[in-house]
A and B are shown apart, each in its own frame.
Chain A
Amino acid sequence: MSARKIWITDTTLRDGDHAMSHKYEVEQVRRIAQALDDAGVPVIEVSHGDGLGGSSMQYGFSVEEEEKYLRAAAEVIKRGRMAFLLLPGIGTRKDLERAAKIGAKVARIATHCTEADISEQHIKMAKDLGLDVHTFLMMSHMTSPEELAGQAKLMESYGADCIYVVDSAGAQLVDQARQRVRALRHALEPKTEVGFHAHNNLGLAVGNSLVAIEEGATRIDGSTCGLGAGAGNTQTEALVAVLDRMGIDTGIDLFKIMDVAEEVVYPIMRQRHVPRIDRGSLTIGYAGVYSTFLLFAQRAAEKFGVEARDILVELGKRKMVGGQEDMIIDVAVELANQAKSKPARAEARA
């Protein structure tokens, strides 16, 4: 594995937006983007956590208009490239076009792991606009490696340059991650890259990222301080240190990225939420639920007087996919009703 190059995409300003409950200020985005760029991060993703157009009642409103965040980041990213996320069904090609005009160079287009065919128009448009296209197969633990590779082939046929195995639930055990990356690497053309995006809900984010690299992945997502949904993502600075020790070049200055984490990102996240492996995020990894559901489930639990963990386990049983935040309320209401009717039944028996 020596003398290899791995490209890290830092998603502190996108996946981290979930952990920030979409309360990033434009100035904070500018500061973080500038610091990441200065540290040599090759791709810096900036978007609402749910991608372009994600600012909504369903997912939470951003403080400012999307365009302002993108512009602020585009102004300061000089060495690296700015990326955005787009989920067809939430964002549209109009949003994509706008982000490209503002200066994004990489389009990251995401679908649920079995629904790749809804991304055709978006991938094609991004290619036509001259962007690099990295695509996401989200919640990829929910389907088999073979099926996942079939979906990746579809995205490749639309023009994707890199296809990510995305462990949105942070649920994949080491072998599950290995098999999925291997299946994609085997199925895709050599020129198509494979990527891996982890969540640390089971404490496996760095480890699974390394396994992905062993299996041929060349792009890995990280977030600084691990600022992302659930227990956060693969911690960028930790990954850089590990890869450096392994003799793999990322182009990122280790000490600089450590300082970005400590001096720029941590003081901002500390005011909101510091993702960690707690019982909520651990339940998410264990039950295989979309990491973003964490804070929503905690809020719904409080509002309806039920346990967040019960909500998360039920969502897992119902096989909810990414973006179904409304079902958290649905489940919470049902659990609350069940709790109300239980004592009554006990009385009736007595």
Chain B
Amino acid sequence: MASEKVKVAIIGSGNIGTDLMFKLRRSSVLELTWMVGVVPDSDGLRRARELGYRTTHRGIDDLKDHLEDFEMAFDATTAHAHYRHAELLKQWGKIAIDLTPAAIGPYVIPVVNLDQYLDHQNVNLVTCGGQATVPMVHAVSRVVPVKYAEIVSTVASRSAGPGTRQNIDEFTETTARGLAEVGGAEEGKAIIILNPADPPIIMRNTVYVSLPKGADREAIRGSIEEMVAEVQRYVPGYHLKSPPIFDEDRVIIMLEVEGAGDYLPKYSGNLDIMTSAAVRVAEGFASHLKARKGRNERREESRA
């Protein structure tokens, strides 16, 4: 049945998990069934209960008896927790969409490489800075070879949670790897800055990409604009602050990422782009699953 939605669960009822819940309500292909937390009186679990989802505060183990309720799980907990969750989800034959820095599965940036990994069981969403900037590096590297790409993500202090703060190297190292492995640069470097200004600033990203001599600037500009439009399909608040600046042997791309303001405030574009990308990835898996199911059914019919 084409209209049947694919069922999903969220592990982690913090800010990210709760924002995901609100985004999933709008999805025409995904149906949220379970919200899994560990803090009984967390705001996320309370809201999930109010919206009529099934909840538990005893962690992922409670899902063991409800495996028919979901085909995919978003993990919005911590890297440490994901190592265990990943094992269980694998045993249960469920797809894991990992929003933590654990990165057991390959890095996925929906507009760049999602299609390559639709048969994988576990994929990772890099970092918020990676989701925002890797598409830009890829937009350049699909036109000219890129030796070096560097990004600076500036986020409001208030939207950087304890996970990010206590392990800030994870952000810079993972994002740098993403720029190279997915973005297509030979070498990547990432910098993150927290700005405590009040009212909080909207997430900013500056992307520096080195260019070879004689690079076709028009083609690069066009590729960047196309890519921005593609990202905007799932992150409407993603936009260029100014047209790309060509500065000698590099191009500077300045981005602002405004969140949708679902659960998190609009300035938290850094968190919004993660949850939006996660939904986009899950939708990609959902259509792939359905197509596969369709093919299998047709095959069985033809056998009968």
Interface residues of B in 98-124 (CB under 8 A from A): none
Secondary structure dominating the interface of A: mixed
Whether A58 pairs with B196 at a CB distance below 8 angstroms is no
Residue numbers in A under 8 Å from B254 (CB-CB): 326, 329-330
Q: Which of B84-92, B186-194, B262-270 is the contact stretch?
A: B186-194
A93-B169, A118-B168 are contacts. A326–B152 as well, Cβ < 8 Å? yes
Contact with A along B214-252 (1 / 0, CB 8 A): 000000000000000000000000000110010100101
Nearest opposing residue in chain B for A115, CB measure = B194
Residue numbers in B under 8 Å from A326 (CB-CB): 152, 154, 204, 206, 252, 254
Nearest opposing residue in chain B for A89, CB measure = B192
A114-B196, A323-B193, A329-B245 are contacts. A57–B250 as well, Cβ < 8 Å? yes
Residue numbers in B under 8 Å from A157 (CB-CB): none
Does residue A333 face the partner (Cβ distance < 8 Å to B)?
A: yes
Does residue A319 face the partner (Cβ distance < 8 Å to B)?
A: yes
Contact with A along B135-156 (1 / 0, CB 8 A): 0000000000000101010100
Interface residues of A in 101-123 (CB under 8 A from B): 112, 114-115, 117-118, 120-121
Known: A121-B168, A320-B195, A324-B195. 18 other contacts (CB 8 A): A56-B150, A57-B150, A57-B208, A58-B191, A58-B208, A89-B191, A89-B194, A90-B172, A94-B169, A94-B173, A112-B195, A118-B194, A323-B152, A324-B152, A324-B193, A326-B152, A330-B206, A333-B242
CA of A121 to CA of B189, assembled, Å: 20
CA of A212 to CA of B167, assembled, Å: 33
Whether B196 pairs with A115 at a CB distance below 8 angstroms is yes
Q: How far is the CB of A202 from chain B (nearest CB, A)?
A: 23
Whether A56 pairs with B165 at a CB distance below 8 angstroms is no
Q: How far is the CB of A300 from chain B (nearest CB, A)?
A: 10
Whether A333 pairs with B165 at a CB distance below 8 angstroms is no
Whether B196 pairs with A112 at a CB distance below 8 angstroms is yes
CA of A56 to CA of B152, assembled, Å: 10
Q: How far is the CB of B100 from chain A (nearest CB, A)?
A: 17
Interface residues of A in 67-101 (CB under 8 A from B): 88-90, 92-94
Contact with B along A185-224 (1 / 0, CB 8 A): 0000000000000000000000000000000000000000
CA of A92 to CA of B171, assembled, Å: 10
Q: How many residues of B contact A (CB 8 A)?
A: 33
Does residue A318 face the partner (Cβ distance < 8 Å to B)?
A: yes
Interface CB pairs A-B, < 8 A, 6: A57-B250, A58-B152, A121-B167, A323-B152, A323-B193, A327-B204
Nearest opposing residue in chain A for B148, CB measure = A57
Residue numbers in B under 8 Å from A321 (CB-CB): 193-196
Interface size class of A (residues with CB under 8 A): 20 to 34
Residue numbers in B under 8 Å from A115 (CB-CB): 157, 165, 194, 196
Residue numbers in A under 8 Å from B165 (CB-CB): 115, 117-118
Whether B166 pairs with A333 at a CB distance below 8 angstroms is no
Whether B245 pairs with A58 at a CB distance below 8 angstroms is no
Whether B195 pairs with A56 at a CB distance below 8 angstroms is no
Interface residues of A in 156-192 (CB under 8 A from B): none
CA of A56 to CA of B192, assembled, Å: 13
Does residue B197 face the partner (Cβ distance < 8 Å to A)?
A: yes
Residue numbers in B under 8 Å from A324 (CB-CB): 152, 154, 193, 195
Contact with B along A312-338 (1 / 0, CB 8 A): 000000111101101101100110000
CA of A272 to CA of B242, assembled, Å: 32
Q: Select the residue from B154, B193, B196, B206 with max chain A CB neighbours within 10 A.
A: B193
Nearest opposing residue in chain A for B242, CB measure = A333
Q: How far is the CB of B191 from chain A (nearest CB, A)?
A: 5
CA of A146 to CA of B193, assembled, Å: 23
Give 10 closest A-B pairs by Cβ, nearest first.
A326-B206, A57-B208, A319-B197, A92-B169, A89-B192, A114-B196, A57-B150, A323-B193, A118-B168, A88-B168
Whether A92 pairs with B172 at a CB distance below 8 angstroms is yes
Nearest opposing residue in chain A for B191, CB measure = A90
Contact with B along A288-316 (1 / 0, CB 8 A): 00000000000000010000000000000
Residue numbers in A under 8 Å from B166 (CB-CB): 117-118, 120-121
CA of A327 to CA of B195, assembled, Å: 12
Residue numbers in A under 8 Å from B250 (CB-CB): 57
Whether A329 pairs with B252 at a CB distance below 8 angstroms is yes
Whether A318 pairs with B197 at a CB distance below 8 angstroms is yes
CA of A114 to CA of B172, assembled, Å: 20
Q: Select the residue from B154, B167, B173, B204 with max chain A CB neighbours within 10 A.
A: B154
A57-B150, A58-B206, A333-B242 are contacts. A323–B168 as well, Cβ < 8 Å? no
CA of A320 to CA of B194, assembled, Å: 10
CA of A60 to CA of B208, assembled, Å: 12
CA of A114 to CA of B208, assembled, Å: 28
Whether A114 pairs with B168 at a CB distance below 8 angstroms is no
Q: Select the residue from A112, A118, A321, A327 with max chain B CB neighbours within 10 A.
A: A118
